[in-house]
Amino acid sequence: MFFRILFLCFVDVIFCSILYSQTERKLEDSQVYLKEPMRFLQDLYTQYYEANCVASFVLDSVDLVNVSEFSGMDLSNAEFELFHKTNALKKSSGVLVVKIQEKKLFLQYKISAHITVFYALKDLSAGKSFDGFVGERRVKFERFTSLPACRDDFKYNVAKVYLPKDMTITKDKLRAKILVKKGDFVQVKAQGDGFVLQHSLQALQSGSYGEVINVKNIQSGKIVRIKIVDKNQGVLL
């Protein structure tokens, strides 16, 4: 009787050990496959913010919430997309749609990241230049209603609206700065094979950086089109 009881206990231990081992293996396999959605989110967020401002965004980690629902699933060939695509990347948490075997599953996630933003050093009225009035800081990424402005944005833009001191400056708060005013004379470069010519031509329109306007040669009366590249400077098209 004693040996029978001992044998049954031994069998139970072996069975539990096997069951635990199988559970652990399934969990490990699930964690391996969960690397695919994690990699997808990491690449998507990083590429989105790098395209806006180079070297501004650092993603620290990606946490998946309801992972137990995906235990044992092979997600290596699944397709992923964000739920509510339009504004999904402007916040640190959301839902990832997982398409697998003609089914749609939903995986909740939260990312931890830091981003470089610029802020007003003093109250800025609408139309005010940013020269010398912008500070820089690194903040925890949580949510944006509009993409944050980049350093290069301040050279050719002014405040679109009143900006109070310490406010984070986003792209929707910028307005293109007028670099050429109608009637001004513009230094226009014309480049060719091995030569560069520069002429002073009169602007027939006002314009901002990157815009194309008409200018006139006062002596000949000829009208040509130029692209504005800086204050009263352009290149011949």
Measured CA to CA, the distance from residue 171 to residue 151 in angstroms comes to 11
Q: Is residue 150 part of a domain?
A: yes
My answer on whether 210 and 164 are in the same domain is no
How many domains, the chain? 2
Q: Is residue 54 part of a domain?
A: no
My answer on whether 214 and 200 are in the same domain is yes
Q: Is residue 187 part of a domain?
A: yes
Among 176, 192, 208, give the residue marking a domain's end: 176
My answer on whether 200 and 227 are in the same domain is yes
The amino acid that residue 161 corresponds to is: V
Long-range contacts (CB closer than 8 Å, 24 or more residues apart) made by 127-135: 127/158, 127/159, 127/175, 128/158, 128/159, 129/158, 129/177, 130/154, 130/157, 130/158, 130/159, 130/169, 134/169
- Confidence label for 19 from pLDDT (cuts 50, 70 and 90): very low
Q: Is the pLDDT of residue 20 over 90?
A: no
Q: Is residue 134 part of a domain?
A: yes
Q: Is the pLDDT of residue 97 over 90?
A: yes
Among 176, 200, 217, give the residue marking a domain's end: 176
Among 141, 161, 176, give the residue marking a domain's end: 176
Q: Is residue 215 part of a domain?
A: yes
Domain limits at 197? 178-236
Q: What is the CATH classification number for the domain harbouring 155?
A: 3.90.1210
The whole-number pLDDT of residue 5 equals 43
pLDDT tens column, 179-228:
999 999 999 998 877 778 899 999 999 999 999 999 999 999 999 999 99
Q: What is the CATH classification number for the domain harbouring 213?
A: 2.30.30.760
What is the DSSP pairing of strand 134-140 with strand 174-176? Answer: unpaired
pLDDT tens column, 25-55:
444 444 566 889 999 999 999 999 999 999 9
Q: Is residue 42 part of a domain?
A: no
My answer on whether 197 and 149 are in the same domain is no
Q: Is the pLDDT of residue 11 over 50?
A: no
The whole-number pLDDT of residue 210 equals 95
Please state the pTM of the whole predicted model: 0.77
Q: Is residue 70 part of a domain?
A: no
My answer on whether 142 and 192 are in the same domain is no
Q: Is residue 61 part of a domain?
A: no
